[in-house]
Amino acid sequence: MIDIPKNHNVGRYCSKRTITESGRISSVAFDIYPKDDGYLSVNHLEKIDLDKSKQINYLREYYIQKILRGKISKKNVAKIAILNVNNTYNLINNNPSTTAILKFIDKCTKDDHSYAGIYGIEIDDQIVSQLLAQAVYESHKLLASTVISAPFSYISPRDPSLSSRKYSLSNPLSTKASPKLLPSA
């Protein structure tokens, strides 16, 4: 396993149940459960070889297809939380109110080159969950009016109907050029 460089960023899908009435991402988005295998799933933004706004659009489509299986209503308020590795690491690892030592690990798979994990969080560690929510330096709505283009070969390579088709929210049958993903180190 390879550590993610500290000057890099990660994104995390935050479901509508983790968004407060005021639209902020709550600490619940960073709770870890026994099914999580000891880490929080995130995506390493710098592994997506696109400019920042296109990285976010890539993650939007990725989460819609992988997590929501393509089913999404216009009322969905889910968000994408963006955390800087160094800032998050310092906020938590140097905090006297917790003994947690976070590690950001590249977990690249053949299906998802940007897949990563945040390790070092204990089940029911509310302090770390709250600090992670504080570390979010930007968030983006899952639904946006921008055209979304993502390579489905990294999401579902076993489904040949998805491997070369790119979609937009306004027209699920439109096709666009595929962004490159950087190979794993």
Beta bridge partners of 39: 119
pLDDT of residue 49: 80
**Ordered DSSP codes for 129-163:** HHHHHHHEEEEEESS-SS-----GGGT-TT-TTTS
Q: What is the dihedral of CA 48, 52, 56, 61, to 10 degrees?
A: -50
Where does the pLDDT of residue 112 fall: very low under 50, low under 70, confident under 90, or very high at 90 and above? confident
What is residue 182's predicted lDDT score, i.e. its pLDDT? 52
Contact criterion met (CB below 8 Å) for 13 and 63: yes
Measured distance CA(160)–CA(55) in Å, rounded = 24
The yes-or-no verdict on residue 12 having pLDDT over 80 is yes
* Contact of 78 with 19, CB cutoff 8 Å: yes
**Higher pLDDT, residue 52 or 95:** 95
Element (H, E) at 56: helix 52-66
Q: Would you list the domain boundaries of the chain?
A: 2-178
What is the average pLDDT score of the chain?
78
pLDDT of residue 136: 96
Identity at 164, one-letter amino acid code: S
- Percent of the chain whose pLDDT exceeds 90: 49
More confident residue, 71 or 48: 48
Does residue 158 carry a pLDDT above 50?
no
Cβ-count burial 128-144 (b if 16+ within 10 Å, e if not): bbbbbbbbbeebbebbe
Assess whether pLDDT exceeds 70 at residue 170: no
Q: Report how far apart the first and last C-alpha atoms of the chain are (Å, whole number).
A: 10
Which residues partner with 19 through β-bridges? Answer: 25
